[in-house]
Amino acid sequence: MTVGSDVKEADIIVYNDSDCKCPHIIVECKKEEITEQEFKQAVRQAYSYAFATAGTVKYIWVTSGIKNEYYSFDKEMDSRESVTDIPQYKVAKLASYKFAKNGGITEDGQKLSPLCTVEESELTNRFKQAHQALWGGGELNPSEAFDELEKLIFCKIFDEKKKRKNGYPYDFQIIKVEPKSRDKRDIEKADRETSENLLQRLISLYEEGKLIGERKNDTEIFREGIKLNAAKARTVVSYLEGVDLLNTDLDSKGRAFETFMGSFFRGDFGQYFTPRNIVSFIVDSLPIDENDRVLDTSCGSGGFLLHALDKVRKAARDFHEIKEWEKETQECHDQWHDFAKYNLYGIEINEQISRTAKMNMIIHDDGHTNVVSSDGLICPADLRLKTNNDGFKENSFNYIITNPPFGSTVKQTEKAYLHQYKLAIKDVDWLNPNSKASERPSQSTEVLFIEQAEKYLVEGGYLAIVVPDGVLTNSSMQYVRDYISDTFRIVAVISMPQTAFSANGAGVKSSVMFLKKYSTSEKQARIDLRNNTQNNLISNSDDGIRLFELLKKKKDEITQINKQIKQAEKAENKSEVEILKNRKQAITEEYDEQIEFTKENLSDAYLEQYKQMLNDYPIFMAIAEDIGYDATGKETKRNELPAISEELAKFIKAIEERKDHFFQ
């Protein structure tokens, strides 16, 4: 091609003659990662090639592999007329649309295309490029663009689910409006109408989905309508219109959305994204099946819920002996889909992330109606009232799997519900007879989520929770560990490497605790044992009696010396006052030292007696040094978590079969 003073080569030329003298179609090919601006430049480049020919070119096709645009070319016309496809041989008239259910052929002989399934990597790129196109021009920020893309993905899935006969067109596609004439203004007007009509169809799809959602009492994903203009909406549709999302492999489309979502979250909402290796480790360790009710009290983007769904789905396929490449039977589908619809629950405080979790569930074929936007720490009764979802019942969940937010605190002055938590109350100190129960001014969220889990779990239910190591090691958190010991059987503690959450912006050393809720009687028995042991030591042991004597002597002597200080102050004998104050300090320090020593003896005696009276049980413990990725998120060659998970699963199975001393 001679373009100006340059000679350039087009990517592909389709000729209309065997001598290759009459170019008919010019195809310009670009990489998948091309931006919208670069794609527009590619269109201009293809047009420059077409104008450089002798005038026989009739069509232009610009493609990035995941996005295609077609144009009817007329060298005499200074306009760009988009078309739905390149017509097949001897087709007189193109259809106004390209995609129809199961394909088909129009009356004019144009072959229509069915929707096609795609590979995971291609779908990930389509999501990323569509998102990039929405915010790349600066009209939307990445977060707003993410919201709008989610809405259109929902429209796409809803459109595919709608009933239509074979050969009938899909609504989620670019359907061309024919210009009234070959005048440039009419062609441009028809192109604008094509985009505007598409936007109206998308809005109609969205509103129809909203209406169906409201009938199911699911309004949270439909709070706001589509905000995109016609041009932006058309751009997104151009990336997704030919994809068969419903029939694309569930694992592939799920991983594609999570990969795209993860890259976005790491930039904007990293605290809501738990690395996949940790998610799979926790879920794979637990014997979750389709009859279990599963809850994540701070579900973020829904990773734990989706992996639980995937676990149940694979079990259903194995049960029905369905091979990897075989289509599921209706019975198999119902088995895991009912679990998704009725047994999976999630709570997320951030509305945008909650909607994303719902969309993640929709991508994985439903289950989204039980993901709600709310503070996961409000009491279950208030949550049910707020969300109009009666499924969040106390003592009803078999498993709670969660990674609560670290490092934030809830203050009594800010949250009215804090007084409802036992761990927000400072108990009477058994070694200080004069102490009284009092409210703690604040409490960390990770501690409160442990207690909240107790409310939701059935007796014998499991809590798997990521906690900062301070909960396990800091001396100031002993009361939390006492609560855990009284309330749960400690099944396992798995130490994660320092880098486990570094890629998501969190450098706190953490561990995963697996806990099994005691029955009410078991818990009360442990509390009674603790209290009786403490009371017996205070009342009957030599150190207990000595503690009271020391406290009384200290009080009496300090009271006496305070009287002497007042008398000296009244007599204005400053030197005597100074002597008495020094003596008071010395007496206080002497008694405090003896009292502290006695308390330490009592504390040691209590721990010794309490341990001896408790029923002993084994705890599974492991240190994971390599979990498959480093501090930057880059994959490593080794992941120790699957091996740990395999052994932990055996251990939990032994507990359920009451054979947990099997290794002794």
In the block, tokens 């008495």 appear at 580
What's the mean pLDDT in 592-607? 94
Q: Sorting pLDDT into bands at 50, 70 and 90, what band is 449?
A: very high
What's the mean pLDDT in 290-301? 93
Q: Are 456 and 345 in contact (CB under 8 A)?
A: no
Rounded Cα distance between 604 and 611, Å, is: 11
What is the full DSSP assignment across 213-224?
Answer: HHHTT--GGGSS
DSSP letter, residue 136:
T
Half-sphere exposure at residue 521, Cβ-oriented, CA atoms within 13 angstroms: 0
Q: Is the pLDDT of residue 405 over 70?
A: yes
What pLDDT is stored for residue 173 in this prediction?
97
Structure tokens at 44: 């201009």
How high is the mean pLDDT of the chain? 89
Rounded Cα distance between 603 and 600, Å, is: 5
Q: Where are the domains of the chain?
A: 1-76, 106-248, 277-518+640-656, 536-613
**pLDDT tens digits along 126-158:** 999 999 888 876 778 888 888 899 889 989 998
CA distances to 216, 383, 608 from 390, in Å: 13, 9, 45
Instruction: Give the angle subtended at the CA of 594 by the CAs of 590 and 600, to the nearest 5°.
Output: 145
Give phi and psi for 18, each to the nearest 5. -70, -20
CA dihedral of residues 223, 228, 230, 236 (deg, nearest 10) = -100
**pLDDT tens digits along 326-380:** 888 889 888 888 898 899 999 998 887 888 888 878 777 665 668 998 999 999 9
What end-to-end distance do the CA atoms of the chain give, in Å? Answer: 82
Laid out side by side, the sheet with 371-373 consists of 371-373, 344-348, 294-296, 397-402, 457-468, 510-517, 488-495, 620-623
Q: Is the pLDDT of residue 52 over 80?
A: yes
Q: Are 383 and 372 in contact (CB under 8 A)?
A: yes
Q: Is the pLDDT of residue 475 over 60?
A: yes
CB atoms within 10 A of CB 131: 23
Rounded Cα distance between 255 and 243, Å, is: 16
What pLDDT is stored for residue 166 in this prediction?
94
What pLDDT is stored for residue 490 in this prediction?
96
What is the full DSSP assignment across 403-425?
Answer: -PPPS-EEETTT-GGGGG-GGGE
What's the mean pLDDT in 105-119? 92
Using a pLDDT cut of 90, give the percent of the chain over it.
61
Q: Is the pLDDT of residue 30 over 90?
A: yes
Rounded Cα distance between 306 and 294, Å, is: 11
Rounded Cα distance between 645 and 211, Å, is: 43
CA 4 to chain centre: 54
Q: Hey, what CATH topology would domain 277-518+640-656 get?
A: Rossmann fold (3.40.50)
In the block, tokens 């979790």 appear at 357
Q: Are 108 and 91 in contact (CB under 8 A)?
A: yes
Residue type (1 letter), 639: N
What's the mean pLDDT in 100-108? 92
**pLDDT tens digits along 207-222:** 988 777 666 555 556 6
Structure tokens at 559: 């009271």
Using a pLDDT cut of 70, give the percent of the chain over it.
94
Q: Which of the residue ranges 17-26, 406-415, 454-463 would you say has the lowest mean pLDDT?
A: 406-415
Instruction: Name the pairing type of β-strands 397-402 and 294-296.
Output: parallel
Rounded Cα distance between 481 and 460, Å, is: 19
Name the nearest CA neighbour of 468 among 398, 406, 379, 528. Answer: 406
286 or 349, which is more confident:
286
Name the nearest CA neighbour of 68 among 53, 84, 55. Answer: 84
CA 255 to chain centre: 13
CA 336 to chain centre: 20
What pLDDT is stored for residue 270 in this prediction?
45
DSSP letter, residue 178:
P
What pLDDT is stored for residue 4 in this prediction?
74
Rounded Cα distance between 133 and 66, Å, is: 13
What pLDDT is stored for residue 351 in this prediction?
82
What's the mean pLDDT in 385-391? 91
**pLDDT tens digits along 259-285:** 777 666 655 544 457 888 899 999 999
**pLDDT tens digits along 165-198:** 999 999 999 999 999 998 889 999 999 999 999 9
337 or 250, which is more confident:
337
DSSP letter, residue 441:
S
